[in-house]
Structure 1
Amino acid sequence: MSEFGLDLFIVGVYFAVIIGIGLYAARGQKTMESYALGDRSMPWWAVLASILASEISAGTFLGTPGEGFAKRNFIYAQLVIGTILARLLVAAIFIKPFYKYNVVSIYEFLEIRFGRLTRRLASFVFLLTRSLASGSRIFVAAILLVLAWEVVHPEFMAMPKEERFVQEMFIYAGAVVLITFLTAIYTTLGGIKAVVWTDLIQVSLMFGAAFYVFFWLLGKTGGWEGFTSSVATPVAIDTGIREDHKSIGESIYFILSQEYTIWAALLGSIFTTLATHGTDQDMVQRMLTSKDAKKGQRAVIVSGLVDLPVVVGFLAIGILIYRFYEMNPGRAPEGDPGIFAWFMVHDLSPGLRGLIAAGLFATAMGSLSTALNALATTYTKDWYVGVFRPDATSEQQMKAAKKATIVFSVLLALIGIGTAFVKLKNPELRIIPIVLGSFGYTYGSLLGVFLVGMLTKKRGNCAGNLIAMLCGFIVVGLLTNLPNDVWKMVTGNEMYKNPSWLPMISFTWRIMAGTLVTVGVALLFPSRNRFEA
């Protein structure tokens, strides 16, 4: 264990600093508005850092270099084009109404616009989907601890497969519980202020770590000339059109099945970002801590401009890791254990490895803390106050939110452990589709209802919204083969054979498909409420 002594010390200091900030931020909090929105007093640049910390999760920190390593090009970065355009739409459409109606939970807007049933339905979808997505991300950060354990205990790899599976599950469970517990401490005590200020430190540490490891790899692999020679193909626009496609229909089917094309960047990515940044309490709550709508709009727009160099940088790290192992084939891993995590554990020097590990844990804890705070806020405003205790005082609401944070911490840890089980049983699964794909089934329905509410005054009602959201979920499930995937995960067999005429869409298209179906159905129903935009 002495090999990791300096690394553990550095990571321990990081944890102590983060928890200390949480304790400091807890001073003077007496109301739900202070706990959930920081009295709308946070500077926009700190909100920007918090948005980035929430976006750049451990899935990005480890998964994006994995995409660069596997593909050796920058095609994945095309998706950022849509995210930038979408943030302009979020700033123009969503932020101002949330401030106008002074909401804490953004699903309060849906009650104002449609009625209580739509609010509760949307809130439930968020609670369920965000729990699944954020819980699965915790598993990603735990990969590093598992690989470190394997280095310290080389006899582990010689174990029989079944015995090793049990040991790995035990280590993953311990790592997930540790990360969740430490994050829950400062999130529960300090509320949104602790989340935002710790996010600022965490995103700074993450950027510093990634910047350093990029130039370290560049020096080890022949500089810029070596890097450019390792890029598999020139960075080009992939339209998805192929010469062997005999008709427009065949081209469309093929494009919808591809993850990274210019169409996914311009269309699929726009809908995905509209959902994550306009209808997800996790992200929007950061913007609502700003003093006014203009500062919230500024934070979300600038975060989109920062996204492009971040994604390109992480892809470049993955390409450099490919070249590093091409030059040092004896050090390369077998299979795909999480290539960046493997590289950190096996090939970085002590101390530097600890700093990069702290950067990884920073991204994991940053996205987890924002999720916990948003989940607790949504539960408290939409269910504790909305259903169980309508007469609760602001102080009682704050206490309920703190208790809810603890409960969601336990739930997310269980989901993280479950994700580890699925990944170990299916090692061929890639991290990015797991993390991004989980909310694709439901967030299209959520975005569809918000768009009808924001962009129309006389269409949509609670009954129609229920039908529309259900239709959106069913269509996306069928177009992604969800019933078969779940059945195969349980039994190992397919439930049915898909008809040849039914297209199978990739995860980048799920939210767009769900949104279009939901909007189309919801518009069929007239509004029953008089709404002033």
Structure 2
Amino acid sequence: MTIDLTLVAIYILAMVGLGIGLTRRSSHTEAFIAADRSLPGWAVGMSIFGTYVSSISYLANPGKSFASNWSPFVFSLSLPLAAWMATRFFVPFYRRTGTVSAYTHLEQRFGTWARWYAVMCYLLTQVGRVATILYLVSLAVSPLLEGIDIRWLIVIVGILVTIYTLTGGIEAVIWTDVVQSLVLTLGMIITVGVLLYVIPGGFGHVLEVATDRGKFHMGDFGASMLRPAKGASSTFWVVLLYGLIINLQNFGIDQSYVQRYATAESERAARRSVWIGALLYVPTSAVLFFIGTALFVYYQGHAEPGLPARADQVFPFFIQSELPIGIRGILIAAILAAAMSSVDSSLNSSATLILCDVVRRLRRRPMSERGEMRVLYGSTLLFGLLGTTAGLAMTRVATALDAWWA
């Protein structure tokens, strides 16, 4: 356990160090919110990919395929079409306007109320999103790091992500996302390798058992789009359409994505970043669903009395009970990487909106560079504290879903 803790600590401190190391390059407003529009498309694309793979999907996708089948994977198949539409319409639009905010044009088209409504909804959602991610990742990681209370994990991760986001701005967010994307990918590769090694018959046996049990089923392909066949939970086409709508929402009006278009060194690089993020996520999603399927096959032949009843806890249970020390630490770091790459995006994008859509909108006279930086620092700190506090509050509810319906 000491080795695992050491690996996790080294990883988290390295991310904080990277963010602090970029402090000087993010010392003025344009650098803090748009990295002086100088970043390569591949780095921005990996950051988009890292934002897509939150700790929720990193744990939930294997849980979904473990409990049912690959129907939810159809959501990911809509990404290439959504990416094409984004590069054809959204990226040129935002690059042409030159705005960093995704909501400035709403005021021009519909009036002040539309801009305020969108900004307030986004900011409130990000507080809830940060809280949920911190709570769920701590809930999953806490049993893997015996002796660490879930509340301490929420506080530690929340504070450290806030520190490197506050000091390094969007450039720190993007470059740490690049590293975190590599770490979470390494974690998936290791997991697949271990599963295929411990399952007798390896890949062929997984395919045989999973096919017999219908684990690769991706929904009803019947002629009726809205009405699935008897016994089917959903149609392929409904999930595909739902995925397209949500992914277009992400690429088109989500500040976390729109802001990244502004950081790219050119419009061509911004277009490339969208394609990189989308095309990396599709196979990654497939691997996560395969992990859940392989876990199902593994536990069919290895009955475990302590196997969790909840499907989304099976992957962490496997990490804790089956992986050797050291490898387990890498997987814990991968889960944290998936969380941190989403939280840092929420914090920086929220601070950007406070400056661009609230402070600048309300002030009659332009604020000084130093004043704007104080707003950005203060807003990042504020949303980091709000998200962490809300995450702590979630420890008092029965499930994370209860917090949204309360």
Normalising by structure 2, report the TM-score: 0.92
Match of 2:8, SS?
helix
* CA apart distance, 1:214: 0.5
TM-superposed CA distance for 1:330, in Å, is: 2.6
Q: 2:125 aligns with which of 126, 129, 139?
A: 129
8 Å CA contact 2:101–2:356 kept in 1: the answer is yes
Question: What is the aligned counterpart of 2:100 among 97, 104, 111?
Answer: 104
What one-letter code is carried by the residue in structure 2 that aligns with 1:323?
A: V
Distance 1:122 1:185 in 2: 27
Contact between 1:62 and 1:140, CA under 8 Å: does it hold in 2?
no
* 1:363 and 2:338 aligned: yes
Cα displacement (A) at 1:67: 0.9
Q: Are the equivalent residues in 2 in contact too, given 1:107–1:119 (CA < 8 A)?
A: yes
Q: Paired residue for 2:17?
A: 20
Larger relative CO (CA 8 A, sep 6+): 1 or 2?
A: 2
1:382 aligns to what? 357
Map 1:485-500 → 2, pairs under 5 A: 486=405
**Equivalent pair of 2:219/2:236 in contact (CA under 8 Å):** yes
- Where in structure 2 are the equivalents of 1:267-306 lying within 5 Å? 267-306=241-280
Amino acid at match of 2:325: P
Query: 2:329 aligned to 342, 354, 376, which one?
Result: 354
1:162 paired residue number: none
Report if the CA contact (8 A) 1:143-1:341 is conserved. no
Mapped contact 1:30–1:395 kept (Cα < 8 A):
no
Q: Offset of 1:264 from its aligned partner? A: 2.7
CA contact 1:135–1:415 (8 Å) conserved in 2: yes
Q: Which of residues 208, 227, 234 is equivalent to 2:206?
A: 227
Aligned to 2:368: 393
Distance 2:323 2:38 in 1: 41
Q: What's the Cα RMSD here? A: 2.5
C-alpha distance in 1, partners of 2:364/2:393? 33
Contact 1:78 1:261 in 2 (8 A): no
> Could you tell me which of 178, 181, 189 is aligned with 2:167?
189
Farther off after superposition, 386-395 or 290-299: 386-395
Q: Give the Cα separation in 2 of the matches to 1:116 and 1:174.
A: 41
Aligned with residue 199 of structure 1, among 177, 183, 195: 177
SS of residue paired to 1:252: coil
Matches of 1:56 and 1:389, distance apart in 2: 40
Q: Secondary structure at the match of 1:345?
A: helix
Q: Which one-letter code corresponds to 2:323 in the other structure?
A: L
Q: Select the residue among 75, 83, 88 that pairs with 1:87.
A: 83
Structure with the greater alpha carbon radius of gyration: 1
Q: Deviations over 1:340-365 (max 9, x none)?
A: 11211222111000011111111111
Distance 1:60 1:179 in 2: 18
Shift of 1:389: 6.8
1:193 Cα deviation after fit: 0.7
Picking from 43, 48, 51, the partner of 1:54 is 51
Unaligned stretches of 5+ residues in structure 2: none
Q: CA 1:259 to 1:25, structure 2 compared with 1: closer, same or farther past 3 Å?
A: farther
Question: Pick from 161, 169, 193: which aligns with 1:215?
Answer: 193
1:238 is aligned to 2:238: no
Gaps of 5+ in 1: 154-169, 243-247, 439-485, 490-533
Residues in 1 aligned to 2:233 and 2:151: alpha-carbon distance in whole angstroms: 31
Q: Secondary structure at the match of 1:121?
A: helix
**Deviation for aligned residue 1:124:** 1.1
Describe the shift of the 1:339–1:192 C-alpha distance in structure 2 as closer, same or farther (beyond 3 A).
Answer: same
The question of whether the paired residues in 2 share the 8 Å contact of 1:79 and 1:264 is answered with: no
1-side partners of 2:313 and 2:127: how far apart? 23
1:414 aligns with 2:393: no
After TM superposition, give the deviation of residue 329 of structure 1 in Å. Answer: 0.9
Between the aligned partners of 2:235 and 2:389, the Cα distance in structure 1 is 35
Identity of aligned residues (%): 25
CA distance in 2, matches of 1:237, 1:278: 27
By how many angstroms is 1:254 displaced? 5.9
How many residue pairs were aligned?
A: 401
Q: Partners of 1:399 and 1:261 in 2: how far apart?
A: 50
Preserved contact between residue 37 and residue 265 of structure 2 (Cα < 8 Å): yes
